[in-house]
Amino acid sequence: MSDTLKSLPDRPLRQQEVTALNHADAFSLVVPVDREEAVEADTREPVVITERVILGTDDWVTGLVYDGGWLAVESVAIDDPDEERFEAMRDCEAAVADYDLD
């Protein structure tokens, strides 16, 4: 998991980065929990970003929050993705939503 955190940019993810992670072989799912409008610093173009995301593989689901760096606020190991992934996602989503960014 620490390698995953190190591979993420040190900032909230842009929507196209979430999409790219969803297509990566490393994850079976990547779900943004929130989205907000921002302005790209270099180009001044509007961009959609997320500071809260859920990552999943066939072995685990993790809820991440960007708070000056990416933090894993919940991680759930799963043995059977077909039966356990949904509950693991709900647990991670609740933990991510409860994390206070203020």
The pLDDT averaged over each successive group of 10 residues in the chain (102 residues) is 77 90 89 80 76 93 94 95 91 94 72
Supply the pLDDT for residue 81.
84
Q: Which pLDDT value is given to residue 92?
A: 96
Distance, CA of 2 to CA of 11 (rounded, Å): 16
Cα–Cα distances (Å) from 27 to 22, 38, 93, 101, in that order, read 7, 26, 17, 25
Q: What is the pTM of this model?
A: 0.84
Q: Look at residue 94 in the predicted model and tell me its pLDDT.
A: 95
Residue 96 carries which DSSP code? H
Q: What's the pLDDT score for residue 41?
A: 67
